[in-house]
Structure 1
């Protein structure tokens, strides 16, 4: 039995889910992949086909320029290249003769067998076919050109989304993929896999990936996507269990007995009024609990599936009461004995939040239904005195051994940052670990005082002063990469930073400044080095290699 094998194996998520793509015919999937490759159906290929403006509009969800360009292309030599764009990205009906020309290996019957298209109207023999799924190219930074199947969105198939909608490549999934720290691991967990995007990335640095979801349809989509992209993902279709397995169940229940070095999750964190039953929720975003309890429970339970030294990265929402600091509630979620780093990226009012998620599922098309939904959101938030909702990233780590020196950092960073930010977050964790080790040494009199420091390559300094003033009133350090922090320096700290060229130790620089400023006392040096540690922690300074 392969590692992490489940009693609900791969085959259980195929033909039993008639509303998801079929992945039983590996030869047919190979033919489809070959046809898509020949069509140039990649992110760059579609952009070149449509032109920069139409492609950019399509990325924003505006389909009109792309549709007009594709209709123009139907009259020229690139007619076949327009077919998959019309079919799967724009939701247009396509003539069978165009499908035959575009997919000579797969054929119309093959596309129907894979459950990617269906006849238009009641006549199966009619001349037109339309998409049953969204199948789009994905430019992965770890596996190159891939394709991802998911449910059609409201711009392709008008009307509210189905309640068991399987989300495709969304902003949140891309955010998480760019945020994950990608160190090599033996076993990784994609919790709430959806269509499988996070698993794609995990397969690049994990020996084995377990993907879970509460939705059988989602697991069927994930299975199809992995098999369609098997060569690029370094997966053998005949021995899938060697690299990846699927498990059906709610959150951590399917893996309660397992341990992982890395857990990645874009959970169903959306705060939703509990006004009806399960039939009134969207499985891809609603966790089925009141308020932010889904994130609270997940954060508290995750340590149970982490190996010693293992970490978890997830996205989440948390409620904010008007009478307390924004970080109070999310801090309360974090279990004792765990390293944690929470970054709030955005905060919305209840009105903004309701607007965002009602529009997300196209529930704003019917005025009265929209008003009822909005009212339910506002009443739900008011019942808990919620005046804001935070969104952000959560990183948790189980220490290799029980320790009193766990570190919990909760901060707000709302400005634009560099993407992918995962490598920069990993570097920050490494610096924090380095500092923790030196903090332990400080008790014996060493600490960072004996270390040689450098200013990070991306850091610049700004000085501002009033006209005619002898000295600057404001001195700033700015990062050009990563989290792009800005920090305000005192005159003494600015002097310290300017001397960090690797020639003198931190203790020697601090001592020289103490003499220069006529403050040769141990307290001044100790306080200065505490500020230096913060500059190291945030990446303005780095140890000499």
Structure 2
């Protein structure tokens, strides 16, 4: 379909009138409908509660501001779009001197309700770096009563923010946002990618994305009359819309939620923003297998996903390893693990299905029966990094990069720059496999050391290295490894330090040097030690 074909989709905002959208952007700017502007209006406590989808404090704060000449217009808009309240026309009209209420209607942003006005969509401010945007999506369960519509277009959620923070922001020619939703990842990608292709199985989602691109054309550096020069919108499932194409970067927050499938179930009965339509975790497994096929040489894919962990599995990642082709580089970080019951409760609440007791009970039982049919003991959630090997690297690589680790504590955000640095260190280690002993290392700037010992003890019983940034790992150290780190100031090479420690400790056996060298490599891979000058 052509880009313009998504400018008028039933039930979605219209984007065929760039001039009217420019007027709307000007009105919102003048209103200070920004993250900081709304936060200041609500106050710290109400703003924090709003971030948790708790609207009562914001209701009280905006109600008090409606009659304030300086704050009333913004308060009416916040109540309208962010809280989902009905507002009177005379309260809303002053906020839109250029667009007008008729213009909001033409754009599909409001509905009439017995003489009052109600928002047809959620339209909220969103900022990253120095970029300030407004993002339209469907109203959430906390803003509008009832179960969500099955073709619900999700807005700015925790998963989309996590993916944005996870993505490595290197300059590339072509990027793909697979399952774009309302377009959040596209906005970020445009800052470092010459061209972005966005796909979705939902026409409504692509219509929301197009609306958001035109509304924010100025902030994103786009020509609203020539959007196709920077962005391509494609309708279709998974990789079908881009078959045969190659990309330098792929990002995807796919519909990874594991949902029980029912006999004769139709696609329109599924929640398109989260249900992939396949049994179990097959959609995530499919992407593990197929994403490398659309990557250029050296190209990277980053995604979020759920995976099932069967009872009796040797490790949580045993099945994930089976999904990967031998030459695909992979790094998976599991951030959370839930029991089948916890998982069912989470996603039934997500779609507000817990508001209907009979539906909740039936769906809950279906979840448990579905997991039991595959002997699923737990469900993992995490971040995935995949890479197609660079051209000509086959003969220089001993093996593909493979890392599977569980990190459930808070990490620094955005984590993308730290992942990029970790990959660079891994490539550096591979390139220096033969001459590692001649390399010079130093302690990373964010690393500190902790020593613990019982009162009166001559030596510490526990020595820990801790990272203050990035993945914030902790490493339990042996005496000899702690000695190596203490001596790592870039002056001596790896073999010289190991030789000095062997002599000092009287450890002349060959295994000592080999084992300590391997431990040092691990510290480099994890970022505790870095090559001198990096």
TM-score range, shorter chain: over 0.9
Distance 1:310 1:93 in 2: 48
Q: Counterpart of 1:5?
A: none
Distance 2:514 2:237 in 1: 51
Structure 1 residue 431 and structure 2 residue 419: aligned?
no
Structure 1 residue 302 and structure 2 residue 291: aligned?
yes
Distance 2:90 2:276 in 1: 44
Distance 1:452 1:301 in 2: 39
TM-score (ref. length: structure 2): 0.97
Distance 2:178 2:518 in 1: 39
Q: Counterpart of 1:351?
A: 341
Picking from 376, 399, 404, the partner of 1:405 is 399
Q: Counterpart of 2:140?
A: 153
Picking from 493, 510, 517, the partner of 2:481 is 493
Aligned ranges for residues 165-204 of structure 1 at < 5 Å? 165-204=152-191
8 Å contact kept, 1:452–1:506:
yes
Picking from 41, 44, 54, the partner of 1:62 is 54
- The total of aligned residue pairs comes to 525
Q: Counterpart of 2:98?
A: 105
Question: What is the alpha-carbon root mean square deviation over aligned residues?
Answer: 0.9
Q: Counterpart of 1:51?
A: 43
Three-state SS of the structure 1 residue aligned to 2:124 is: strand
Distance 2:483 2:167 in 1: 36
8 Å contact kept, 1:182–1:422:
yes
Q: Counterpart of 1:79?
A: 72
Q: Counterpart of 1:360?
A: 350
8 Å contact kept, 2:151–2:268:
no
Tell which deviates more after alignment, 345-354 or 502-511: 502-511
Q: Counterpart of 2:245?
A: 258
* TM-aligned CA deviation for residue 211 of structure 1: 0.2
1:15-60 deviations in Å (ceiling 9; x for gaps): 2x12000001101000000111111111111000110000110000
Q: Counterpart of 1:96?
A: 89
Three-state SS of the structure 1 residue aligned to 2:94 is: helix
Kindly report structure 1 stretches of 4+ aligned residues shifted beyond 3 Å: none
8 Å contact kept, 2:464–2:476:
yes
Distance 1:56 1:534 in 2: 40
1:454-496 deviations in Å (ceiling 9; x for gaps): 1111101011112211111111000000000001010000000
Q: Counterpart of 1:450?
A: 438
Three-state SS of the structure 1 residue aligned to 2:219 is: coil
Q: Counterpart of 2:207?
A: 220
Q: Counterpart of 2:529?
A: 541
8 Å contact kept, 2:248–2:296:
yes
Q: Counterpart of 2:455?
A: 467
Structure 1 residue 329 and structure 2 residue 319: aligned?
yes
Q: Counterpart of 1:290?
A: 279
Distance 1:425 1:84 in 2: 39
Picking from 18, 40, 55, the partner of 2:10 is 18
8 Å contact kept, 1:339–1:406:
yes
Distance 1:468 1:99 in 2: 73
8 Å contact kept, 1:99–1:107:
no
Distance 1:433 1:425 in 2: 12
* TM-aligned CA deviation for residue 95 of structure 1: 1.4
Distance 2:267 2:362 in 1: 18
1:122-176 deviations in Å (ceiling 9; x for gaps): xxxx3x21100000000123x5110100000111111000000000000100000
Structure 1 residue 248 and structure 2 residue 239: aligned?
no
Distance 2:405 2:323 in 1: 15
Gaps of 5+ in 1: 1-7
8 Å contact kept, 1:342–1:394:
yes
Structure 1 residue 393 and structure 2 residue 377: aligned?
no
Three-state SS of the structure 2 residue aligned to 1:364 is: helix
Three-state SS of the structure 2 residue aligned to 1:411 is: strand
1:185-222 deviations in Å (ceiling 9; x for gaps): 00000000000000000000000000000000000000
Distance 1:471 1:292 in 2: 50
Distance 1:191 1:278 in 2: 19
Distance 2:204 2:223 in 1: 23
Distance 2:178 2:479 in 1: 48
Three-state SS of the structure 2 residue aligned to 1:148 is: strand
Q: Counterpart of 2:365?
A: 375
Distance 2:193 2:227 in 1: 14
* TM-aligned CA deviation for residue 98 of structure 1: 2.0
* TM-aligned CA deviation for residue 508 of structure 1: 0.9
Q: Counterpart of 1:4?
A: none
